C-alpha cells in the first residue's frame, strides 16, 4: 500500500512519517510545497501545493491512501477551496482513501469566535464524506506541546498562566501521540467512513498547569481572564498582531471553546490505535525528554 502525507514538512507531518516508517511501511511519499528544502531518509519527496489541483493530482499518482493535513489558518487564504483541491486531486489520481486531520468539537464551538475556522474543518469533512472516496475524518485534540511552551514562558515571566478558558475541560494530546494515531488510521481500513476524536482524557487549565509544574519543576499558577483581556494580550504579541485582530479573536475563540465545553469530547483513540492514549504525565515527560 502506497501512502502519501500532505504538508509533510510541518511538525505533525514529520512525526506521521516517522511513525509510518516505524510501523514498517516501505512505500511512503511526502508531499511538500518546496521539495528542495525538505529531506527525510528513505522517503520519496514530491511537490504539491493545495492551491493547485493539477499539481496535487500529479503528486498523488500511484498513491493508495492520502493523509490530508488540514490547511493552516492564514488570513486571506481560501482554505475551503484548498481542501476541495486536495479531495478532487485524490479522486482524479485514483486514490482509494483519504484520512483528514480535522479538529475536535461537539458543536458548541459554533457559539464562539472560533466558529468560522471550525466551519472550514466541518466543510472539508462533509466534502470528503460526499466525495465517493473511502475516508476517515480524524478530529485532533489541542496540541499539548504548544500549551506547554506557553506555560513555561509564563513561569519565566512571573509565574501566572492566564487565558479565558476558565474551568472548562479540554482534550489535549501531544503531537507525537497524535501522529501515531493518524499513522494507524492510514494503515487500517477497519474504521473507514467514521468520524473519530483523537484525544486522551480531558483536563482543566488548572490541572494542566499543575501537571506541568510537577513534570518540569515549575512554580506557576493558572488565573482566568476575560475574553477582551485575552484578545488584548494576543495583540501585544508582534507575530500575532502582524496577522491582524481577526487571528487574535480566533485564538481567543479556542479558549472560548474550552470554557463552553466544546472540546470536552469522548476519545476514540483506542479504537483507532489498539491502545489507550498515554497519560497526560507520560505525554509531558516525552515532550520534555525529546527537547533535552
Going from the first residue of the chain to its last (292 residues), give the mean pLDDT of each consecutive group of 10, the final group possibly shorter: 96 97 90 92 95 98 98 88 98 98 98 96 98 98 97 97 98 97 97 97 97 98 98 94 91 97 98 97 97 85
Q: What are the CA-CA distances from residue 15 to residues 20, 51, 68, 85, 174 (Å)?
A: 9, 24, 14, 24, 11
Q: What are the CA-CA distances from residue 206 to residues 54, 147, 169, 213 (Å)?
A: 48, 12, 10, 11
The Cα 73–Cα 130 span in angstroms is 23
The Cα 32–Cα 132 span in angstroms is 25
CB atoms within 10 A of CB 188: 12
Residue 168 half-sphere exposure toward CB, CA atoms < 13 A:
22
Q: Are 45 and 35 in contact (CB under 8 A)?
A: yes
Residue tagged 472548562 (cell numbers) = 168
Helical pair 79-93 and 115-129, crossing angle rounded to 10 deg = 20
Q: Domain 3-140+175-199+266-276 class? A: alpha beta
Q: What are the CA-CA distances from residue 264 to residues 157, 163, 168 (Å)?
A: 30, 17, 8
Q: What is the CA angle 14-145-114, rounded to 5? A: 95
Cα separation of the two ends of the chain: 36
Strands annotated E in the chain:
3-5, 28-32, 44-47, 65-69, 97-103, 134-140, 142-143, 160-163, 170-173, 195-198, 202-203, 221-224
The Cα 57–Cα 78 span in angstroms is 19
Residue extents of the structural domains in the chain: 3-140+175-199+266-276
Helical pair 245-260 and 227-235, crossing angle rounded to 10 deg = 140
* Region of 196 on the Ramachandran plot (φ > 0 left; ψ -120 to 50 alpha; else beta): beta
54 DSSP 8-state letter: H
| φ, ψ of residue 131 in degrees (nearest 5) | -80, -20
The Cα 254–Cα 22 span in angstroms is 33
| φ, ψ of residue 97 in degrees (nearest 5) | -145, 145
The Cα 56–Cα 6 span in angstroms is 9
Amino acid at each position: 500500500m502506497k501512502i502519501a502525507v500532505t504538508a509533510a514538512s510541518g511538525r505533525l507531518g514529520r512525526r506521521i512519517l516517522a511513525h509510518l516508517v516505524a510501523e514498517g511501511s516501505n512505500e511512503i511519499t511526502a508531499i511538500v510545497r518546496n521539495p528542495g528544502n525538505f529531506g527525510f531518509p528513505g522517503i520519496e519527496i514530491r511537490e504539491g501545493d493545495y492551491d493547485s489541483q493539477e499539481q496535487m493530482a500529479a503528486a498523488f499518482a500511484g498513491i493508495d491512501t492520502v493523509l490530508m493535513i488540514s490547511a493552516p489558518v492564514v488570513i486571506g487564504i481560501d482554505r475551503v477551496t484548498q481542501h476541495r483541491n486536495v479531495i478532487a486531486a485524490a479522486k482524479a489520481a485514483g486514490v482509494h482513501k483519504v484520512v483528514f486531520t480535522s479538529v475536535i468539537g461537539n458543536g458548541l464551538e459554533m457559539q464562539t469566535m472560533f466558529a468560522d475556522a471550525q466551519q472550514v474543518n466541518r466543510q472539508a469533512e462533509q466534502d470528503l464524506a460526499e466525495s465517493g472516496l473511502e475516508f476517515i475524518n480524524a478530529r485532533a485534540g489541542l496540541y499539548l506541546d504548544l500549551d506547554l511552551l506557553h506555560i513555561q514562558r509564563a513561569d519565566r515571566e512571573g509565574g501566572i498562566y492566564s487565558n479565558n478558558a476558565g474551568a472548562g475541560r479540554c482534550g489535549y494530546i501531544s503531537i507525537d501521540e497524535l501522529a501515531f494515531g493518524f499513522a494507524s488510521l492510514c494503515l487500517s481500513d477497519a474504521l473507514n467512513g467514521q468520524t473519530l476524536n483523537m484525544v486522551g482524557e480531558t483536563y482543566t487549565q488548572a490541572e494542566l498547569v499543575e501537571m506541568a509544574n510537577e513534570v518540569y519543576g515549575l512554580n506557576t499558577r493558572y488565573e482566568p481572564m476575560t475574553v477582551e483581556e485575552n484578545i488584548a494580550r494576543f495583540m501585544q504579541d508582534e507575530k500575532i498582531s502582524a496577522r491582524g485582530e481577526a487571528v487574535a479573536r480566533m485564538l481567543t475563540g479556542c479558549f472560548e471553546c474550552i470554557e463552553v465545553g466544546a472540546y470536552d469530547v469522548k476519545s476514540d483513540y483506542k479504537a483507532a490505535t489498539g491502545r489507550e492514549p498515554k497519560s497526560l504525565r507520560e505525554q509531558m515527560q516525552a515532550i520534555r525528554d525529546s527537547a533535552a
